[in-house]
Amino acid sequence: MIKQPAFATVTGVPFSAYAREHPLSWPTPMWELLRNPDGGDFAWRRLGYVFRLPDPSTFRSPVPGLSADERAVLERFVEHARDLAGTTLLTASKDRYRVHVADDASGYTVETELSDSDLTVGFMVKLRQSYADDEEASFSKVRKILEHRLHEADDEAAVAMLKQWRKAHAALRNKTTEELVQERMVADGQLPKELIGPGGEIRSPVVRSPESPHQMLQTFWYGGQVHWGKSREPLAVIQADPFQSGRWEVEVRQAAVDLGHFYLGFALLVERAVGPTALAQQ
């Protein structure tokens, strides 16, 4: 009788747990609409720790010169963010994967727990309206409207504030929040600047994701999640490997959730820009 090797479960604690103790600089955006407000608080402790974004309630109100069409785009962004705030995946999902490694290192198994497909796809479709540059009320188009009108008004302070949000958005497209937290921890002296590998090589202490959030989202969206298109073959390769599949599935969801929370915060800024009179009519 062949004795099967025992398996050990490896559990990792994310570095971003350190950010849990980071104080909130301003209230969690749309806290009252979230299904799990504690999840929103944690998301903004991480985002606040990384970006130190200014309180959107201090943004100029209203922004002068908005046309009726521009105002409609801005109001749509705010309305859609409120809808996004109430989604299950944003704060109430528990996506995870576990790797069980054999004692003799002869193999491993992967166990995943993922949100239902309809919840995930529904959230991704909603997120895409704020994320994709070609969407009519996307972050990109809203930001450009505000930037144009603020330049016309010669409001340098408001332009500078808008620039901080633009840079944060670009960072969230290029790196996961987990990576950004670790980079901030290195800058703050909470992690060493470099590590020595087993062969004496110099390594970064930052644990990198398999791809940028933008690339992960594009791979899933156009690999069959939203459209069965140009990314179906790359996604099929990833899904053929249980470890890579589990890791990508969880990380793309977390990246989407972090971007979702970011849009809720930016919507508060946009709400200020539109002004209280127009929004009160909704």
Whether residue 73 contacts residue 80, with contact meaning beta carbons closer than 8 Å, is answered with no
Query: Which percentage of the chain shows pLDDT scores above 70?
Result: 89
Q: What's the pLDDT score for residue 82?
A: 98
The pLDDT tens digits for 205-256 are 899 999 999 999 999 999 999 999 999 999 999 999 988 999 999 999 999 9
Rg of the chain over CA atoms, in angstroms? 21
Look at residue 4 and tell me whether its pLDDT is greater than 70. Answer: no
The values of phi and psi at residue 133, to 5°, are -60, -30
Q: What's the pLDDT score for residue 29?
A: 97
Whether residue 97 contacts residue 110, with contact meaning beta carbons closer than 8 Å, is answered with yes
Q: What's the pLDDT score for residue 98?
A: 73
CA dist 266 → 81, 140, 217, 247 (Å): 9, 11, 20, 29
Look at residue 1 and tell me whether its pLDDT is greater than 50. Answer: no
Q: Which one, of 77, 219, 213, 57, lies nearest residue 144 by Cα?
A: 77
Q: Which residues contact 66 (CB under 8 A, 6 or more apart)?
A: 74, 145, 149, 273, 274
Phi-psi region of 187 (alpha: psi -120 to 50; beta: other; left: phi over 0): alpha
Whether residue 203 contacts residue 174, with contact meaning beta carbons closer than 8 Å, is answered with no
Look at residue 94 and tell me whether its pLDDT is greater than 50. Answer: yes
The pLDDT tens digits for 122-173 are 999 999 999 999 999 999 999 999 999 999 999 999 999 999 999 999 999 9
The values of phi and psi at residue 9, to 5°, are -95, 130
Look at residue 48 and tell me whether its pLDDT is greater than 90. Answer: yes
Q: What's the pLDDT score for residue 280?
A: 47
The lowest-confidence range among 65-79, 107-121, 202-216 is 107-121
Identify the residue with better confidence: 77 or 198. Answer: 77
Residue 116: half-sphere exposure toward Cβ, Cα within 13 Å? 6
Whether residue 86 contacts residue 72, with contact meaning beta carbons closer than 8 Å, is answered with no
Q: Which amino acid is at 104?
A: D
The answer, yes or no, to whether the previous bond of 213 is cis (omega within 30 of 0) is no
3-24 average pLDDT score: 65
The pLDDT tens digits for 15-32 are 667 777 778 999 999 999
